[in-house]
Structure 1
Amino acid sequence: CPMYPSINSMKDYASRTDVTRPYIMCEYAHAMGNSSGNFQEYFDIIRSSAHMQGGFIWDWVDQGLLTKDENGEAYWAYGGDFGAYNYPHDENFCINGLVQPDRTPHPGLMEVKKVYQDIRFAAIDPQRGEFEVQNHFIATNLSDYDFSWELLRNGEKMADGTFELNLPPGQKKAVKAPIPSVDMNDGNDYHLSVYAYTRKGDEIIPAAHEVAREQFSLATGSMTIQKPATTIPATFNKDGNTWSFDCQGNVTIKVNSRNGEVYAYAVNGRNLLNGSITPSFWRAPTDNDWGNNAHRRLNAWRYAGHNRKLTALTHDTDKERHIITATYTLPEVNATYVLSYTIHPDGRLGVESTLHADGDHMPELMRFGLRLPLDRSKDNFRWYGRGPWENYSDRNTASFMGIWEGKVDDQFYPYIRPQETGNKTDVRWATLTDDTGFGIKVSGRQPLNVSALDVTPDDLDPGMKKSQMHTSDVHHSRHNVYLNVDLAQRGLGGDNSWGRGPHKEYLLNDKSYNYSFIISPVIPD
């Protein structure tokens, strides 16, 4: 019964043929804060061998005590609170559960539920609607459950249906959903989702409760950007340090020539931005980041974007398009950073971001992206990507592709010690609009990581010490919401919270990065 074994140790034991005892981890998958990364990988190993039995996640519940601050605002207290700061304590190390003290689930619990499910689905020929249902219960027939399926095109449901199964424990059966015949090479995304629900409720689980899910990717679209309806180029004007571009559709884009920043993007005189588009290389460290000493090791990225030095700014034309290229040095990390803006005739703004190490080494990145500030009224968030709850590169098997929506307030998960939150992976497009439907849309030329919050990493990051920070210390903006549009973000990890980082495939250790997306206005009918 090992405690927090490495993945390699698990693989080694799983591959052995001379063992006489089952492998039961007395503790594993430390669930402290925003964690539970690479949980699927654990069970890929566990299910590969009969003698790999499983383990006990540490922990189930955050062990905090409800109290109030000097302003009467409630928060969950932990070690060092209640006047005990000068006594020996372990800070928030008992805040390491899958649920909060009042049993509110952490987003990571959804991943655990998905990986643990005893009704599982495997692909046969999902493009034809064919898949396998496996009953891994010990004593329950699947006749007690209702099943449904959905066919999605670009995240929108185009067909659905239900089915029933009489499948004894330990058995598996092929199922064919009668999906419509479509050309899955037509440049669109197609997904097939399958669900299992309880038919009857009991004293613990209600009827119609989802107990299992799976989603099969049938086809991936090209993510091409539609050509503009007009070819009349924008009118360019220079006034002091302002470069202004007036496009069709009454769209105006302004660039500050002193720093190369796009600071205005207006439609009919109404500005969509509430500040400049700026690079984003840092996230508020998670508890696993702290344990991995990432808050110190990667500290150079904390202000690398803020301290960038503009070395060149150019304005070129390409037929009907204007192209602005800003080149920067990042002294703290010895790298070159280039932001290129393409101004299309119809007012769409293409953004391309490139980072390249100037030497042989560049510190591991927390994230590679850009931040767009908008005014607080644009708090309706809608996206096509994985959701609906937050998800990360190493914790997204439970998060399905679809079109999701919600308020910006609901994208922030109140981890008891504030930290990174709200990310969505594999995002094709996202919008932020006000209640009239007016706002902004970003469309990736490749899948994006996107979040919409009313806080920045600085609001959640105490610096080099945790400083007894709580949810009541987070000041949510009354003026701005921030649309974070990233190529990638560091994985969460979860092997433990006192040294091991995310697995190497979820780290950002390349010497160069590049991505692009299109910004366009959303105008109500």
Structure 2
Amino acid sequence: QKRPVHYESRNRWDGPDISRYDIISDMYSSFERLEYLFNTDTTRPVIICEYAHSMGNGLGNFRKYWDLYNDFPRFQGGFTWDWVDQGLRSKDENGREYWNIINHLDGANVNDGLINPDRIAQPEMHELKKVYQYFNVRNINVNTGIVTIANDHDFIDASTIYLKWNLLENGKSIANGTVDKLSIAPHSRQLLKIPFDRKLVKHGNEYFMNISFHLKAATLWADKDFEVGAEQLAFDLPATLPPGTPKEDLPALVVTEGNNSLSIKGQGFEVLFDKKAGALSQLVYDGKNILSQPILPYLWRVPTDNDEGGGDRGYATRWRKAGLDKPVIQPVSLTAENIGNNRTEVTLQNKIVTKEGDILHRAIYLVKGNGTIEITNCFNVPENLPPLARVGVRMALPKELNAIEWYGKGPFESYDDRKESAFVGRYAGKVEEQHFGHVMPQENGNKTDTRWLQVTSSA
């Protein structure tokens, strides 16, 4: 035998035995299973033949695997499953094109790639690229510009790469520059000082340093200036104003309570609560209601392909069985308390009735005389319910509000377990542009670590 053999070779793909060939192989292993494989036979390397199932909107927690692979050389990586969705382009009876989903037996399992059948990269590709990158940055003291640059290549030095840096204040660029020469051998590091003016950093603002690595010249696989790696470092500074900030001087509010409603009026706005619905029902600014529906608790989202997998053990099946897709909201109480003459705190309590238990919901609305509303939501969830698809409230707006700007992770979608590649900044776009068309329609377009969001109408 001249070549090492990698073959799973197990009686069941999820059985307890270990493959007997030169390389220990496995698929979709838990971290406990990986620990078992690694420690049971210390004479062979471990390569996962399938992991990080990329069907639809997936690739969560990808970094955790690579932290393991990078820390232990005998973990030699794995095969992300897989590269491209397998779908056929067909036409319906009206001549409209659609992706013909071939395999209905296990929920679109032929569409488990990182790119669509037409080779359009899915948003999860950003996370894979970020985790795979060979140039990485460690924060020594970014407040003064001191960082460490690591070159994790096996054979390639950093002579073909240049570095760009960009200082952000509250999400906007205020300074930038380039470092043209990096002298970093393979598996080596370089201490570097980013030459920014420290006087630009002012108390009470939020600062980030974005660092990216680019090709100096075109290669067979990428154009000149192509970004091969990037990192964002947060400054260790408080982003809030110091004590002693003057209190807001707010206009007065007028509160009117009826049998079935509560009205709070201020200069140019009115907030209406519906006691029967247990919700904030209208939000009127300059005589126009900007809500299409009452604001109510919402525990559902469209399942992803991976949610739909797993049969009776799958998340989507358990959610529907529990009735989380069609809950009944029963109002319990609504109370209002005036805090001076320019603040009113409204407390709503609702019972969310599901097939497997009731969820208690409490919403607190602090309405201020300048028209701002601070909202706090609390949910008491029975232990017997499955892990929830989503926890929060749903707000429906008129369709003419079709443009958004936000300060948070972006510019593409991000999730709590897939957001390392999305950097904090200020981004803008059309609402429809936040959607990504997977072969199987499913949850997409989420934003994380959002400081604020502005929704407006555009021409």
TM range (shorter): 0.7 to 0.9
Equivalent residue runs for 1:124-273 within 5 Å: 124-163=140-179, 164-181=181-198, 186-219=203-236, 221=238, 229-238=248-257, 241-248=260-267, 250-273=268-291
Q: Structure 2 CA distance, aligned partners of 1:125 and 1:353?
A: 37
> What code does the residue aligned with 2:457 have?
D
Aligned to 1:356: 380
Whether 1:322 aligns to 2:340 is no
Q: Is the 8 A contact 2:107 2:308 kept in 1?
A: no
Aligned length: 425
Aligned to 2:397: 374
Q: Structure 2 CA distance, aligned partners of 1:227 and 1:327?
A: 33
**Gapped regions of structure 2 (runs ≥ 5):** 1-24
Aligned to 2:33: 9
**Any idea what SS the aligned residue of 1:214 has?**
strand
Question: How has the CA–CA distance of structure 1 residues 17 and 223 changed in structure 2, closer, same or farther, with 3 Å as cutoff?
Answer: farther
Q: Structure 2 CA distance, aligned partners of 1:376 and 1:245?
A: 26
Q: Is the 8 A contact 1:229 1:346 kept in 2?
A: no
Whether 1:284 aligns to 2:314 is no
Q: Structure 1 CA distance, aligned partners of 2:33 and 2:395?
A: 43
Q: Structure 2 CA distance, aligned partners of 1:363 and 1:25?
A: 29
Larger radius of gyration: 2
Q: Is the 8 A contact 1:215 1:400 kept in 2?
A: yes
Q: Is the 8 A contact 1:32 1:95 kept in 2?
A: yes
CA RMSD of aligned residues (A): 2.4
Aligned to 2:15: none
**Any idea what SS the aligned residue of 1:60 has?**
coil
TM-superposition CA deviations, 1:192-213 (whole Å, max 9, x none) = 1110011111343111111101
Farther-moved stretch of structure 1 (359-368 vs 19-28): 359-368
Q: Which of the pair has the greater relative contact order for Cα pairs under 8 Å at 6+ separation?
A: 1
Q: Structure 2 CA distance, aligned partners of 1:5 and 1:337?
A: 37
Question: How has the CA–CA distance of structure 1 residues 18 and 303 changed in structure 2, closer, same or farther, with 3 Å as cutoff?
Answer: closer
Aligned to 1:118: 134
Q: Is the 8 A contact 1:146 1:199 kept in 2?
A: yes
Q: Is the 8 A contact 2:302 2:443 kept in 1?
A: yes
Q: Structure 2 CA distance, aligned partners of 1:153 and 1:12?
A: 47
State the identity %. 32
Question: How has the CA–CA distance of structure 1 residues 301 and 123 changed in structure 2, closer, same or farther, with 3 Å as cutoff?
Answer: farther
Of the candidates 407, 410, 416, which is equivalent to residue 387 of structure 1?
Answer: 410
Equivalent residue runs for 1:22-171 within 5 Å: 22-79=45-102, 89-163=105-179, 164-171=181-188
TM-superposition CA deviations, 1:390-414 (whole Å, max 9, x none) = 1111111111111111111111111
Q: Is the 8 A contact 2:263 2:273 kept in 1?
A: yes
Q: Structure 2 CA distance, aligned partners of 1:237 and 1:172?
A: 66
Question: How has the CA–CA distance of structure 1 residues 279 and 221 changed in structure 2, closer, same or farther, with 3 Å as cutoff?
Answer: farther
**Any idea what SS the aligned residue of 1:131 has?**
strand
> What code does the residue aligned with 2:188 have?
Q
TM-score (norm 2): 0.86
Q: Structure 2 CA distance, aligned partners of 1:228 and 1:243?
A: 27
**Gapped regions of structure 1 (runs ≥ 5):** 437-525
> What code does the residue aligned with 1:193 have?
N
1:271 to partner: Cα distance: 2.2
Farther-moved stretch of structure 1 (347-356 vs 66-75): 66-75
